[in-house]
């Protein structure tokens, strides 16, 4: 499987209305009033996935799987109806090493602990208007740095270096492990989507900002070949696999090792011109005691590359595998290559 070190992308396909438990396997946790947490959509740039996490007095923390680095690149599309709130990059102990605050004059302030590192010009962002924010932080007590970009513009709105970005080091490491969105009590609507994290250690483009980008959800559209699993609920396996949100009524089931389902997928929108990577994810569980494992497979051209073999729980979980290159060519995905990709899953153990 072709992956890039510590690259993670949270996209709308992993979200489901009125099913907060669906978030938990991805490292998303909520505190505060859950009644202020919902799913909505942005009106602008609708060619990206339409699901949006919206919350009010609750705080949300995303800990990308196995992510830990003192060099962090992150990007996120946001939509605010009030100014109150911060975006924090936290260490393992939950301490905010770098914080971005949104000010009522349309500026953004970067701080580290009690120290203000820099503030952008005024009136760069506006309420009720979507914007794409990117941050590069190096965590260090002497040689720390923070660079903030807006809407894909390579000219930073904040750029400070040789500063202390390590105000807290109470854990074994000051490395960033999560990003948190904290809201004041009066925050009634703060939305975000298209959130990426990486540590800059990969090849281009994963050694720099990714730019204004987003996730597109390409669901199964038909069975490819003869399905092996038994469909329950919907009559076709691809319909059960494309069911959002997942539920206990529509699913595909098998107890035989080697059983496989393969699918064609929806074509990418014509507005997409570059693919950063593709992620296969599944929502699955075992119904009985004993050991059973599921493996997702990326089938492209003459190549088939399997992801992690995941041994199932009796509680549904979400697992994912990221492919930043086309297994058929070893190069970056092309639109044609991605559109012809046939994802599958198999009972692996």
Quick check: 293 and 255 in contact, CB under 8 A? no
pLDDT at site 219: 86
Let me know if residue 304 belongs to a domain. yes
- Cβ-contact 316, 284 below 8 angstroms: yes
Average pLDDT over residues 268-297: 88
| Domain coverage including residue 59 | 8-198
Q: Count up the domains in the chain and report the number.
A: 2
pLDDT greater at residue 14 or residue 100: 100
pLDDT the model gives residue 173 = 82
Q: Which of 3-7, 24-28, 43-47, 114-118 has the highest mean pLDDT?
A: 114-118
Is 64:320 a contact under the CB 8 Å cutoff? Answer: no
**Could you tell me if 36 and 96 lie in one domain?**
yes
Q: Residues 201, 205, 11, 306: is their CA dihedral positive or negative?
A: negative
Q: Are residues 224 and 173 in the same domain?
A: no
Whether residue 1 is predicted with pLDDT greater than 50 in this model: the reply is no
In this structure, what CATH number is given to the domain that contains residue 82? 2.60.120.560
Domain at 334, CATH number: 2.60.120
* Predicted confidence band of residue 214 (pLDDT cuts 50, 70, 90): confident
In a domain, 78, yes or no: yes
Q: Is residue 212 part of a domain?
A: no
Q: How far apart are CA 177 and CA 217, in angstroms?
A: 26
236 and 277 co-located in one domain: yes
Q: Could you report the per-residue pLDDT of 131-165, keeping only the tens digit for each?
A: 999 999 999 999 999 999 999 999 999 999 999 99
Same domain, 151 and 76: yes
Is the confidence at residue 221, as pLDDT, over 50?
yes
Q: Is residue 68 in some structural domain?
A: yes
CA–CA dist 315, 54 (Å, integer): 26
Same domain, 45 and 145: yes
My answer on whether 172 and 225 are in the same domain is no
The answer on 235 and 192 residing in a single domain is: no
Q: Taking Cα atoms as reference points, which of 47, 156, 174, 54 lies closest to residue 112?
A: 174
Torsion angle (degrees, nearest 10) of CA 342, 204, 52, 241: 10
Q: What is the pLDDT of residue 134?
A: 97
Instruction: Yes or no: say if 341 and 224 are a contact pair by the CB < 8 Å rule.
Output: no
Give the tens place of pLDDT for each residue, 69-83.
999 999 988 887 778
Are 32 and 131 found together in one domain?
A: yes
- Same domain as 227, residue 193: no
In a domain, 171, yes or no: yes
Q: Where residue 282 falls among pLDDT bands split at 50, 70, 90?
A: confident
pTM of the shown model: 0.82
Q: Does residue 23 have a pLDDT over 90?
A: no
**Based on the domain organization, do 133 and 225 belong to the same domain?**
no
Same-domain check for residues 190 and 236: no
- 36 vs 242: which has the higher pLDDT: 242
- How far apart, in whole angstroms, are the C-alpha atoms of residue 63 and residue 24? 10
Query: Is residue 34's pLDDT more than 60?
Result: no
Mean pLDDT of 100-119: 96
Which one has a higher pLDDT value, 316 or 88?
A: 88
Is 74 contained in some domain? yes
Residue 215 located in a structural domain: no
- 3 located within any domain: no
| pLDDT at residue 328, as a whole number | 96
Look at 299 and 27; give whichever has higher pLDDT. Answer: 299
Q: Domain check: are 242 and 139 in the same one?
A: no
């Amino acid at each position: 499987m072709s992956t890039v070190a510590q690259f993670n992308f949270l996209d709308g396909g992993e979200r489901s209305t009125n099913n907060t438990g669906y978030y938990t396997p991805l490292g998303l946790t909520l505190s505060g009033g859950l009644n202020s947490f919902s799913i909505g959509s942005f009106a602008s740039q609708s060619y990206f996935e339409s699901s949006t996490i919206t919350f009010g007095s609750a705080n949300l923390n995303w800990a990308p799987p196995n992510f830990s680095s003192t060099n962090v690149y992150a990007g996120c599309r946001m939509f605010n109806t009030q100014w109150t709130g911060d975006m924090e990059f936290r260490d393992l102990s939950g301490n905010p090493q770098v914080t971005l605050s949104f000010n009522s004059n349309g500026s953004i302030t970067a701080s580290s602990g009690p120290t203000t590192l820099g503030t952008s010009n005024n009136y760069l962002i506006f309420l009720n208007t979507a914007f794409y924010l990117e941050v590069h932080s190096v965590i260090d007590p002497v040689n720390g740095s923070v660079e903030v970009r807006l809407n894909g513009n390579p000219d930073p709105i904040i750029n400070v270096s040789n500063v202390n970005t390590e105000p807290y080091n109470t854990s074994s490491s000051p490395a960033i492990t999560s990003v948190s969105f904290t809201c004041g009590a009066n925050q009634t609507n703060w939305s975000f989507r298209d959130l990426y994290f990486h540590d800059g250690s990969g090849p281009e483009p994963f050694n720099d900002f990714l730019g204004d980008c987003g996730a597109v959800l390409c669901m199964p559209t038909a069975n490819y070949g003869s399905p092996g699993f038994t469909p329950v609920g919907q009559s076709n396996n691809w319909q059960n696999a494309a069911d959002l949100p997942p539920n206990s009524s529509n699913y595909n089931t098998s107890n035989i090792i080697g059983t496989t389902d393969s699918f064609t997928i929806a074509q990418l929108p014509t507005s997409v011109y570059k693919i950063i990577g593709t992620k296969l994810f599944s929502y699955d569980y075992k119904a009985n005691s004993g050991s059973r494992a599921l493996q997702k497979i990326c089938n492209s051209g003459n190549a088939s590359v399997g992801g992690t073999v995941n041994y199932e729980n009796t509680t549904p979980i979400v697992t994912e595998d990221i492919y930043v290159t086309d297994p058929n060519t070893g190069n970056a995905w092309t639109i044609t290559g991605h559109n012809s990709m046939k994802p599958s899953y198999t009972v692996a153990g």
